[in-house]
Amino acid sequence: MLPNFYLRPVFCFLLASLFWLPPSAQAQKLPNGTVATINGISITYEDLAMAEGELANLIGQMNEQQRFEALLGYVMDRVLVSEAAKKAGVEDDPTFLQRNAFTQRKDLHDIFISQKLVEKITDAKVDAYYKENIVKGSRQEEIRARHILLDSKDMADAVLASLSGGADFAQLAKERSKGPSGASGGDLGYFGRDSMVAEFSEAAFKLKKGDISQPVKTQFGWHIIKLEDKRAKPTPKLEQVRGQIYQLLIGEARREIYEEMREKADVKFINVAPVSE
């Protein structure tokens, strides 16, 4: 649990202060979104949001009030310690200078890349990618099948004989299949080639609509498969895949930015250990 022992008595006061600031505080011209001040230093919602990114794994299960208290306590402690560090001269310490330079480069990198990605990845580009690569792109074949899963080849042969004699496949699946789909008549719904184990998919995709397979052995047992339907996989709506397209375009744009900059950069490797063969 993060240190927040001094926060609970003032929590209600802090919430009230979000909606009203005394004249003295107003005179300080506090930044917008100020939540609290500590020794005159403002703490804003933006500060809490950045802290939340650092503490996501620790506060994820807390309720709203607990998260607020934990984040505010964390930021308050950081302010107090960092101000004490300044007074102690840590800003001139070589370790601080090195780490600060590294952190500054990271922040500059992150903000610059984010700005460039916002420029490059527009809704129009997402829409264009969707139309060109998904609507007009190749569509994966899907099938809908039923199966009856059994423990042995002899049992599978017996079920196949019953089916040849006119028995109803769905009813036999309910009665004989040991698989979880047995209760629904062995119905597996629509699926692609990669959705099932190789032996099952190979046999199922060879069938024609209405055909029943010979016994097929997989790691789960013996299957009798009936093909119900074949179709091209339906095209998803844009909103269903918008997030995936954004991530794909972001990855491509990020690589393009790096590659363009590296091509123009003067890179020299110094004191790099040779790679052993």
The owner of tokens 């397979």 is 213
Q: Which residue has the tokens 């264009």?
A: 128
Average pLDDT over residues 117-143: 92
Mean per-residue pLDDT, 131-160: 94
Secondary structure of the chain in HEC code, one letter for each residue: CCCCCCCHHHHHHHHHHCCCCCHHHHHCCCCCCEEEEECCEEEEHHHHHHHHHHCHHHHCCCCHHHHHHHHHHHHHHHHHHHHHHHHCCHHHCHHHHHHHHHHHHHHHHHHHHHHHHHHHCCHHHHHHHHHHHHHCCCCCEEEEEEEEEECCHHHHHHHHHHHHCCCCHHHHHHHHCCCHHHHHCCEEEEECHHHCCHHHHHHHHHCCCCCECCCEEECCEEEEEEEEEEEECCCCCHHHHHHHHHHHHHHHHHHHHHHHHHHHCCCCCCCCCCCCC
276 pLDDT tier (thresholds 50, 70, 90): low
With cut-offs at 50, 70 and 90, classify the pLDDT of residue 30: confident
Distance separating alpha carbons of residues 144 and 185, to the nearest angstrom: 13
Question: Which segment of 26-30, 54-58, 84-88, 162-166 scores lowest on mean pLDDT?
Answer: 26-30
- Lowest-confidence pick of 20-34, 195-209, 214-228: 20-34
User: Is the model's pLDDT at 161 over the cut of 80?
Assistant: yes
Which tens digits make up the pLDDT trace of 47-73?
Answer: 999 999 899 889 988 999 999 999 999
Task: Look up residue 181 and give its two tokens.
Answer: 């789909």
Domains in the chain: boundaries:
8-92, 95-138+235-263, 141-232
The residues facing 142 across adjacent strands are: 231
Strands 221-232, 187-191: pairing kind: unpaired
Mean pLDDT of 19-42: 74
Write the single-letter amino acid at 103.
Answer: T
| 94 pLDDT more than 80 | yes
Query: Would the pLDDT of 6 be above 90?
Result: no
The string of pLDDT tens digits covering residues 232-249 is: 989 999 999 999 999 999
CA angle 166, 161, 221 (to 5 degrees): 120
pLDDT for 18: 43
- Nearest Cα neighbor of 83 from 44, 38, 49 is 38
The CATH code of the domain at 141-232 is 3.10.50.40
